[in-house]
């Protein structure tokens, strides 16, 4: 089988022929049709991820076929017994186990779910990791309610676009931040009330003015950006963080304690979160936004595209058929 292999830190991905995979007990070999990229793949390529090992076939997201039936893959394995947090043995497909950037991937059979009917193959590949993270952040952690003002930061991101779509479907008033005015406009065409450019120093004031204050934040940027977003929260607000794209969170503590603000962390989600996410996405006919589809032999261009933050939504890889 053809596989896209990363051999070391900061190296380009190389395409290689690998032996066909053999099914293991309780595991299934999926013939991958489309895979999708996540920021995680960039962190691993940059060597900034726990438990690095090389060579590795990256890729947490994918859809494909098993005995002629189309499936999507839950990328998290061994969540464990507690809904509130994952077990110590929890791991994500694409490190340490070989992932979906290949013609075949071996996954636990319990991680396979039927492809949602309303999605194209590309959209189905784009959904699992970002959809799961967005669902848990938006509903399990932020507990977004109809009519609430919800700030989604860095709207071009794969998780952020899905979180926006989910919050909108739940009847929330969504505001966004982005480094790109075009992306803010795109978010508004999709139903967001408004947005601010985080490159503009006065964005928190502008956001407070346009929203009247924020009830909930769903954030993957961290850094100073999250600290400033927290200053826009109404008393009793909740900020949920799922990522650290811009580094350590810088918060003025008074903004937290005086405003009775709750800051929560979240990662991926349990198997029941995944099932709930699929039900929600199916009910509201949410289609992940596809920023671009690259053939597997253009994978290094796909990495460069994601790195440039030119994307709005998910970057998908088309895997050649066997
Ligand atoms: N804990 C988890 O389970 C989990 C799951 C998925 C992702 N993550 C993490 O969450 C982050 C986002 O992941 P992703 O795959 O959605 O990433 P992505 O598609 O690569 O998007 C990253 C986005 O970050 C935004 N950004 C950059 N600088 C920013 C700033 N100063 N303020 C606000 N936003 C900024 C950009 O938004 P604009 O283009 O709009 O400027 C960019 O598009 C990554 O750090 C990833 O590792 C964690």
Asked if 140 and 242 sit in the same domain, the reply is yes
> Tokens 């929260």, residue?
233
Point out which residues pair with 91 in neighbouring strands.
77
Q: Domain total for the chain? A: 2
Residue 155 token pair: 């709207």
Residue 279, in any domain of the structure: no
Q: What is the mean pLDDT of residues 299-318?
A: 96
Is position 113 within any domain? yes
Q: How confident is the model at residue 101 (pLDDT cuts 50, 70, 90)?
A: very high
Q: Average pLDDT for residues 298-320, to the nearest whole number?
A: 95
What is the mean predicted confidence (pLDDT) over 80-102? 98
Q: Which tokens belong to 9?
A: 């830190």
**pLDDT band, residue 49 (cuts 50/70/90):** very high
Assess whether the C-beta atom of 267 lies below 6 angstroms from ligand 1.
yes
pLDDT confidence band for 220 (50 / 70 / 90):
very high
Closest CA to 117 of 287, 247, 254: 287
Residues 112 and 200 in one domain: no
| Percentage above 70 pLDDT, the chain | 99
Residue 61 · residue 35 · CB < 8 Å: yes
Q: Which sign, positive or negative, has the C-alpha torsion 210, 214, 218, 224?
A: positive
**In the chain, what are the helix, strand and coil shares in percent, each to the nearest 5?**
30, 30, 40
Of the candidates 160, 132, 161, 163, the one whose C-alpha atom is nearest the C-alpha of residue 269 is: 132
Tell me the average pLDDT across 224-230: 97
> With a 6 A CB cut-off, is 306 part of the ligand 1 pocket?
yes
294 within some domain: yes
Q: How distant, in Å, are the alpha carbons of 42, 139, 193, 285 from that of 166?
A: 25, 9, 14, 10
Residue 202 and residue 234 in one domain: yes
Over range 222-226, report the average pLDDT: 97
- Determine, yes or no, domain membership for 177: yes
Specify the pLDDT at position 234.
98
Looking at the fold, whether 78 and 169 belong to one and the same domain comes out as no
Whether residue 52 is found in the same domain as residue 159 = no
Same domain for 91 and 140, yes or no, is no
| pLDDT range class, residue 319, cuts 50, 70, 90 | very high
Ligand 1 site-directed mutation target among 136, 207, 221, most atoms within 8 Å of CB = 221
Integer Cα distance of 233 and 254 in angstroms? 12
Section 40-60 average pLDDT: 96
User: What's the mean per-residue pLDDT of the chain?
Assistant: 97
Confidence band for 225, pLDDT divided at 50, 70 and 90: very high
| Residue 276 located in a structural domain | no
The per-residue pLDDT for range 261-283, each reduced to its tens digit, is 999 999 999 999 999 999 999 99
Say if ligand 1 is within 6 A of residue 245 CB.
Answer: yes
Half-sphere exposure of 319 (CA within 13 A, CB side): 30
Kindly state if the Cβ of 45 falls inside 6 Å of ligand 1: no
pTM of the predicted protein model: 0.98
Nearest CA to ligand 1 atom 24: 154
pLDDT at 322 over 90: no
Q: What is the CATH number of the domain that holds 240?
A: 3.40.50.720
Whether 123 and 137 share a structural domain: no
The tens digit of pLDDT for each residue in 132-182 reads: 999 999 999 999 999 999 999 999 999 999 999 999 999 999 999 999 999
Any atom of ligand 1 within 6 Å of the Cβ of 154: yes
Backbone torsions φ then ψ of 195, nearest 5 degrees: -165, 165
The four Cα atoms 96, 98, 101, 107 give a dihedral, to 10 degrees, of -110
Ligand 1 atom at minimal distance to the Cα of residue 266:
1
Please compute the mean of the pLDDT values over residues 30-39 and round it to a whole number.
98
**CB 273, CB 136: distance < 8 Å:** yes
- Count CB-CB contacts under 10 A for residue 12: 11
What pLDDT was estimated at residue 99?
98
280 within domain boundaries: no
Q: How far apart are CA 239 and CA 252, in angstroms?
A: 14
Domain identity same for 212 and 257: yes
In this prediction, residue 77 carries a pLDDT of 98
Calculate mean pLDDT across residues 194-198: 98
Q: Tokens for 188?
A: 């508004």
Residue range of the domain that includes 55: 2-127+288-318
**Are 226 and 123 members of one domain?**
no
140 and 74 both lie in a single domain = no
Domain-located, residue 271: no
CATH number at residue 81: 3.90.180.10
Q: Which H/E stretch holds residue 288? A: none
* 69 and 165 both lie in a single domain: no
DSSP letters for 254-275:
HHHHTTT-EEEE--S--HHHHH
User: Would the pLDDT of 321 be above 90?
Assistant: no
Residue 76 shares a structural domain with residue 163: no
Q: Would you call the peptide bond into 285 cis, given omega within 30 degrees of 0 as the criterion?
A: no
Is 167 inside any structural domain?
A: yes
């Amino acid at each position: 089988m053809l596989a896209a292999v990363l051999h070391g830190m900061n190296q380009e991905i190389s395409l290689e022929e690998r032996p066909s995979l053999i099914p293991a007990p309780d595991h299934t070999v999926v013939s991958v049709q489309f895979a999708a990229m996540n920021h995680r793949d960039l962190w691993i390529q940059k060597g900034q991820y726990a438990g690095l090992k090389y060579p590795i076939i990256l890729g947490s997201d994918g859809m494909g076929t098993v005995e002629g039936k189309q499936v999507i893959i839950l990328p998290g394995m061994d969540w464990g017994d507690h809904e509130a947090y994952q077990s110590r043995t929890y791991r994500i497909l694409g490190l340490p186990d070989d992932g979906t950037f290949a013609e075949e991937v071996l996954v636990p059979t319990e991680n396979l779910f039927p492809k949602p009917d309303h999605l194209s193959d590309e959209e189905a590949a784009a959904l699992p990791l970002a959809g799961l993270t967005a669902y848990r952040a938006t509903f399990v952690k932020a507990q977004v309610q109809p009519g609430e003002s919800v700030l989604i930061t860095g709207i071009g991101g794969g998780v952020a676009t899905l979180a926006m779509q989910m919050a909108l479907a739940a009847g929330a008033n969504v505001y966004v931040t982005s480094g790109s005015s075009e992306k803010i406009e795109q978010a508004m065409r999709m139903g967001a009330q408004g947005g601010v450019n985080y490159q503009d120093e006065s964005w928190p004031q502008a956001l407070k003015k346009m929203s009247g204050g924020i009830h909930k934040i769903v954030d993957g940027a961290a850094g100073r950006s999250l600290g400033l977003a927290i200053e826009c929260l109404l008393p009793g607000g909740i900020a949920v963080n799922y990522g650290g794209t811009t580094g350590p969170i810088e918060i003025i503590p008074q903004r937290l304690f005086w405003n009775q603000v709750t800051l929560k962390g979240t990662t991926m989600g349990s198997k029941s979160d995944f099932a709930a996410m699929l039900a929600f996405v199916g009910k509201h006919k949410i289609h992940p936004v596809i920023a671009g589809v690259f053939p597997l032999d253009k994978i290094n261009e796909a990495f460069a595209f994601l790195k440039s933050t030119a994307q709005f939504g998910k970057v998908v890889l088309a895997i050649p058929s066997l």
